[in-house]
Structure 1
Amino acid sequence: MSDAGTGLAGFRRYTWWAVPGTNVGVLILFTAEWVLDSDVPLQPRVFCAAALVVEVAAVLVLLDVRLRGTPARLPAGWPVAGVLAAIVLGVCPLALRNYGLWPVGPAIMMAVIATYLDRRARRRLVLTATAVAALPGGAVSLLAGDGQLVYAALFPVGVTAFTSWAVLGPLWAWDVAGRLEEARRLSAELAVKDERLRFAADLHDIQGHHLQVIAVKSELAARLAEADATRAAAEMEEVRRLATDALRDTREVVRGYRRTSLNEEITNATRVLASAGIDARTTVEPGAISESARHLLGLVMREAATNLLRHSRARTTSIEYRVADGVARLQVSNDGAFEPAADTGTGLSALAERLDAAGGVLEWTRDGERFELTACLPAGKETR
């Protein structure tokens, strides 16, 4: 799953540091201290040092792949290498009766592998690993008779359970956030498709009747052409009139579709942004304004809403519209501008030229993550 262009970029950075970073840090902190301990025999320290390098690499690779997509496939080789390294990191300390260290490596690798499984298999693996974690330490403690049976059996259980929660919890939240982002994108697309379907339905209703009648009368005129030329001419005149009516009605449908109304655009933008998970707060103080000015400001509102959906990670947006001192002013701001500044493309530039020709102005500014678009037009001046 690519998070470019969405609100997940910051969350992914946090998840990266919270999951791979934390687990690698724990592995290195606890295992390296034991590896560098001169009281520990040299051979197990060498084995554990090599195994530590392999498991750290495996954890980083596997979690990076997991964060890139859901569902994700286990990359070949790394799971096997990680599991073998985890076994070495568990067996060497356990052979020397270090009951606190031996479960760390195996627990982390088990949790990482579990992130690739479906919910049922994941639960089964975690529960089984947590239960089995009591056996190795408990068995070694019983055979050694060192009196640490409770610690040797229960501490690895706690380590395994806690590690599973620490790894799987944030990744579960990551998956939920990804699904919500996908739902937001689909909601915005559905809003556009609904508008297209509405236009198609209107066009069908207008054209369907006219074309059906034209077809019938044309067929009748063709039959009458030789038998009754006068009546055939009358029918063709009726066909001409119907074609003119159909053309006029079609133009009215297209004009109504292309001609925007500021109030309707604000209402539609609020609805679409809300469905996309953006809190749209509106302040509208209407006043007398020409139809052409209302149309231009409606185009600005439509472009602003489109840019919000496509080119921002906004959580809230503010829409303010006022008419005062003969000037209509529309301001749209949001808290999700990209770094670097969002590309305005040609849409806003073209609108700025149209507003300038109409005696108005269109400006946009960016301050940190805040993006603000302001359009001003003479309220009563007719524009084309």
Structure 2
Amino acid sequence: MNETGLDGFRRYTWWVVPGSNAIVLILFTGEWVLDGDVPAPARLFSAGALVVEVAAVLVLLTLRLRAGERIRLPAGWPVAGALAGAVLAACALPLRNYGLWAVGPAVMVAVVATYLEPRARRRLILGATVLAAVPGGVVSLLADDGRLLYATLFPPGMTAFVSWAVLGPLWAWDIAGRLEEARRISAELAVKDERLRFAAELHDIQGHHLQVIALKSELAARLVETDPQRAVAEMGEVRQLAADALRDTRAVVRGYRRTSLDDEITNATRVLASAGIDARTTLEPATIPEAARHLLGLVMREAATNVLRHSTAREASIEYRVSSGTACLRVSNDGAGPGPDTEGTGLRALAERLEAGGGVLEWTRTDDRFTVSASIPGSSR
């Protein structure tokens, strides 16, 4: 867990859980150890057991706080603490101190319970609470001291209360840990999503621009001897395309670049014509949300790039319309090659982005004809 954000809560929980339990043991048992009316052997054994159990409580609960709810019960300290609790009980119970003997065992039951699964934890606490009524009741009956009710009910109450006092704050601590872990995972996912978005945007820009630059450079190389003036014009367009690619890349880095559907249709028609492809357009202008225009612009750019990269097309058609509140874009071409990129940052990545925006992207092949169809809600939701 992030200690920077939870330092205050950690300190508070430490004082509430390990600190308060250690203080309870010291206050309850320490006063009894210092009582001169208590036999010296009982005081001596109780003092040693008190030191051991306080150390076990501090170590075990501190480990539990640091490691979280998945930690296993360590060896050594639980046994030492349980034996110390048993010694405290064995010293106080024969002297009919019904309010003290259960304190040490109750604290150790609560500490051990923090390491268990919920079902095992409930069984331990319930069993210890029920059994706590037996020793005091037996001693009171044998002594016939008239304190049977107190001797029977106080130890179970003490066991249940100590368990509640320990497990309650630890439950809050575990919840805080889960929330902190969820926040960390959410932050990591946000970073990954931003990286994927940046990669997709970069692919949209560089893939299209570089493909067109390569096409026009090849055309200029063929024209340099037969039509020098047109070759110069084509290279001028190559220069402009390179400048546009640089500008768009900077815009992506700064985070404010948006693809325009109108510009992409115009640019695709011009580029396809330069490649000798007869591009026919059927457009029905309509106003749609900026986010929808951006996504359809990305589809138009990817479709045009795939026509240039993966086909030997002679003709292509571009259809755009808005019908019944849905904006539809359809790009079709003949001469389909082995197939465009439908993995990674290609059409499949675009399909996921349209799906997130409430739209659908599909592509089909019929003989040598390849068709890309995109639809997305054309009204603000």
- TM bin, normalised by shorter chain, reads 0.5 to 0.7
Distance in 2 (alpha carbons) for counterparts of 1:235 and 1:151: 106
Cα displacement string for residues 66-117 of structure 1 (whole angstroms, at most 9, x for unaligned residues): 1112123434321111111011111211122211111100001111111111
Matches within 5 A, 1:292-303: none
Provide the residue aligned with 1:170 in structure 2: 169
Cα displacement string for residues 52-78 of structure 1 (whole angstroms, at most 9, x for unaligned residues): 000011111111111112123434321
Match of 1:47 among 45, 48, 56: 45
**CA gap 1:243/1:202 in 2 versus in 1, 3 angstroms:** farther
Note if contact 1:94-1:102 (Cα within 8 Å) is conserved in structure 2: yes
Note if contact 2:216-2:238 (Cα within 8 Å) is conserved in structure 1: no
Is 1:117 matched up with 2:113? no
Provide the residue aligned with 1:155 in structure 2: 154
Q: Name the SS of the counterpart of 1:95 in structure 2.
A: coil
Is 1:31 matched up with 2:22? no
Distance in 2 (alpha carbons) for counterparts of 1:65 and 1:36: 31
Distance in 1 (alpha carbons) for counterparts of 2:179 and 2:198: 29
Distance in 2 (alpha carbons) for counterparts of 1:184 and 1:239: 52
Shift of 1:23: 0.9
Distance in 2 (alpha carbons) for counterparts of 1:136 and 1:246: 89
Matches within 5 A, 1:278-297: none
2:12 is aligned with what amino acid?
A: Y
Shift of 1:39: 1.8
Distance in 1 (alpha carbons) for counterparts of 2:192 and 2:243: 25
> Which one has a bigger Cα radius of gyration?
2
Provide the residue aligned with 2:61 in structure 1: 63
**CA gap 1:260/1:206 in 2 versus in 1, 3 angstroms:** closer
**CA gap 1:235/1:123 in 2 versus in 1, 3 angstroms:** farther
Distance in 1 (alpha carbons) for counterparts of 2:15 and 2:27: 16
Distance in 2 (alpha carbons) for counterparts of 1:219 and 1:123: 77
Provide the residue aligned with 1:249 in structure 2: 245
Shift of 1:36: 1.7
Shift of 1:196: 2.6
Distance in 2 (alpha carbons) for counterparts of 1:213 and 1:57: 75
Distance in 1 (alpha carbons) for counterparts of 2:136 and 2:230: 103
Note if contact 2:213-2:241 (Cα within 8 Å) is conserved in structure 1: no
Distance in 2 (alpha carbons) for counterparts of 1:88 and 1:53: 12
Shift of 1:244: 5.2
Note if contact 1:55-1:86 (Cα within 8 Å) is conserved in structure 2: yes
2:174 is aligned with what amino acid?
A: D
Distance in 2 (alpha carbons) for counterparts of 1:235 and 1:161: 91
Distance in 1 (alpha carbons) for counterparts of 2:220 and 2:234: 10
Cα displacement string for residues 218-244 of structure 1 (whole angstroms, at most 9, x for unaligned residues): 89999x89xx9859x989986884585
Cα displacement string for residues 319-365 of structure 1 (whole angstroms, at most 9, x for unaligned residues): xxxxxxxxxxxxxxxxxxxxxxxxxxxxxxxxxxxxxxxxxxxxxxx
Distance in 2 (alpha carbons) for counterparts of 1:118 and 1:239: 72
**CA gap 1:138/1:219 in 2 versus in 1, 3 angstroms:** farther
Shift of 1:251: 2.9
Q: Name the SS of the counterpart of 2:48 in structure 1.
A: helix
Provide the residue aligned with 2:134 in structure 1: 135
Q: Name the SS of the counterpart of 1:100 in structure 2.
A: coil
1:133 is aligned with what amino acid?
A: A
**CA gap 1:217/1:260 in 2 versus in 1, 3 angstroms:** closer
**CA gap 1:95/1:214 in 2 versus in 1, 3 angstroms:** same
Percent of residue pairs bearing the same amino acid type: 67
**CA gap 1:238/1:150 in 2 versus in 1, 3 angstroms:** farther
Distance in 1 (alpha carbons) for counterparts of 2:40 and 2:122: 38
Cα displacement string for residues 92-143 of structure 1 (whole angstroms, at most 9, x for unaligned residues): 1112221111110000111111111122221221111111111121222223
Shift of 1:217: 7.7
Distance in 1 (alpha carbons) for counterparts of 2:112 and 2:80: 12
**CA gap 1:9/1:59 in 2 versus in 1, 3 angstroms:** same
Matches within 5 A, 1:67-78: 67-70=65-68, 71-78=70-77
1:87 is aligned with what amino acid?
A: A
1:206 is aligned with what amino acid?
A: I
| Structure 2: runs of 5 or more not aligned | 258-381
Shift of 1:208: 2.6
Note if contact 1:58-1:82 (Cα within 8 Å) is conserved in structure 2: yes
Provide the residue aligned with 1:80 in structure 2: 79
**CA gap 1:239/1:72 in 2 versus in 1, 3 angstroms:** farther
Provide the residue aligned with 2:8 in structure 1: 10
Shift of 1:210: 3.8
Matches within 5 A, 1:1-384: 1=1, 3=3, 5-6=4-5, 8-70=6-68, 71-212=70-211, 241=237, 245=241, 248-258=244-254
1:51 is aligned with what amino acid?
A: A
Cα displacement string for residues 178-230 of structure 1 (whole angstroms, at most 9, x for unaligned residues): 222222333333333333322221111122334455667889999x89xx985
**CA gap 1:117/1:126 in 2 versus in 1, 3 angstroms:** same
**CA gap 1:131/1:212 in 2 versus in 1, 3 angstroms:** farther
Note if contact 2:205-2:248 (Cα within 8 Å) is conserved in structure 1: no
1:110 is aligned with what amino acid?
A: V
Give the TM-score of the pair, scaled to structure 2: 0.59
